[in-house]
Amino acid sequence: MLDLYLFQLLNGLGLGMIYFLIAVGLTIIFGLLNFVNFAHGAFFLLGAYLCYTAVALTGNFWLALLIAPLAVAALAWVVERLLIKRIYHLPHTFQILVTLGIALIIQEASVLIWGPVGKHIAVPPELRGVLIVGDFIYPYYRLFLIGFAALIGVGLWLLLERTRFGALVRAGSESTETVSLLGTNIFRLFSLTFALGVGLAGVAGVLFAPLRGAQPFVGPEILGIAFVVVVIGGMGSFGGALVGGLLVGVVQSMMTSLWSQGASLMIYGAMAAVILVRPYGLFGRA
């Protein structure tokens, strides 16, 4: 029985790390660009589908793990340049609506390209099999998932805290005008940050694909979960996205063993509880 809980706890951590990657991308974009990307779930979806195609073409999951997020980020960069750049001067409502439009287009295009039925993506051969410690059995892929996502998280933290680019993003989140006045091409920074944030959703989509496959209508569900994470953890906070993501992942995973139908319901219940007790999130300030 205890093994089952440990199993679900580890599953929850893996799921939580995926939620962290999605939410932290959302948060970085919001921090600098000041709008919520409602196409985030759709880009996640695209990551999973591109992973499917890359694996189908090359037969190599590792190559897919590299190519698919880069392709998603590249598309995001183009979309930002062509479309989102034109609407920075408008109120946030309009920016949300444009990203909602993008989300619909990506979702429907995915169905057109890959069909309405989900695609299965195999676990890479190197990670098939299970780890056995005494009575405890755990799949390698899920362990890899936790480790890899943690690696990306550390890399991202170093990028934001230790590089010139990261310093600009952080400074821009405080005041885009000041950064712009100091001679930085702020629009280039916007494009790169949007691509980076969306690319993280793409990574999450690829990592998630061997677990649940690529499903055409998963976008809104992922978006909803990402919002729960940032509402709990607070928007614009790296640590908040991490703790919020892990919390939501673990709650969802633990609930699956207790009441499988209500697992999705419970994470929203958790969000409502946090809003009631601490309206500004666990780490938020008023």
DSSP lists the bridge partners of residue 183 as none
Residue 30 contacts other proteins per CB under 8 A: yes
**Cα–Cα distance measured from residue 187 to residue 276, given in angstroms and rounded to the nearest whole number:** 38
Site string for other proteins, 182-221 (x = CB under 8 A): --------------------------------------xx
Choose one: 10-18, 60-68, 228-236, 239-247; the region binding other proteins (CB under 8 A): 228-236
Running DSSP on this structure, what letter comes out for residue 119? B
Residue 105 contacts other proteins per CB under 8 A: yes
Choose one: 10-18, 45-53, 80-88, 193-201; the region binding other proteins (CB under 8 A): 80-88
Q: What minimum distance in Å lies between the beta carbon of 111 and other proteins?
A: 6
Our CA angle for 179, 184, 185, nearest 5°, is 120
**Cα–Cα distance measured from residue 205 to residue 68, given in angstroms and rounded to the nearest whole number:** 9
Three-state secondary-structure class, residue 53: helix
Residue 102 contacts other proteins per CB under 8 A: yes
Cα–Cα distance list, 60 to 52, 66, 114 (Å) = 10, 10, 19
Choose one: 30-38, 68-76, 130-138, 185-193; the region binding other proteins (CB under 8 A): 30-38
| List 78, 111, 154, 158, residue binding other proteins (CB under 8 A) | 111
**Those residues with Cβ within 8 angstroms of residue 174's Cβ, 6 or more apart along the chain or in another chain:** none
Cα–Cα distance list, 116 to 81, 106, 134, 157, 216 (Å) = 30, 13, 43, 37, 6
Choose one: 48-56, 142-150, 240-248, 266-274; the region binding other proteins (CB under 8 A): 266-274
**Cα–Cα distance measured from residue 169 to residue 161, given in angstroms and rounded to the nearest whole number:** 10
Residue 98 contacts other proteins per CB under 8 A: yes
**Cα–Cα distance measured from residue 109 to residue 5, given in angstroms and rounded to the nearest whole number:** 40
Q: What minimum distance in Å lies between the beta carbon of 148 and other proteins?
A: 27
Residue number with CB closer to other proteins (104 or 150)? 104
Residue number with CB closer to other proteins (32 or 36)? 36
**Those residues with Cβ within 8 angstroms of residue 163's Cβ, 6 or more apart along the chain or in another chain:** none
Residue 269 contacts other proteins per CB under 8 A: yes
Residue 246 contacts other proteins per CB under 8 A: no
Neighbours of 147 (CB within 10 A): 12
Q: Which of 285, 279, 271 is nearest to 19 (CA)?
A: 271
Report helix, strand and coil shares of the chain as percent, to nearest 5: 80, 5, 20
Residue 91 contacts other proteins per CB under 8 A: yes
Residue number with CB closer to other proteins (98 or 169)? 98
Residue 262 contacts other proteins per CB under 8 A: yes
**Cα–Cα distance measured from residue 42 to residue 59, given in angstroms and rounded to the nearest whole number:** 24
Site string for other proteins, 112-151 (x = CB under 8 A): x---------------------------------------
Interaction site with other proteins (CB under 8 A): 30, 35-36, 83, 86-87, 90-94, 96-98, 100-105, 107-109, 111-112, 220-221, 223-224, 227-228, 230-231, 235, 261-262, 264-265, 268-269, 271-272, 275-276, 279-280
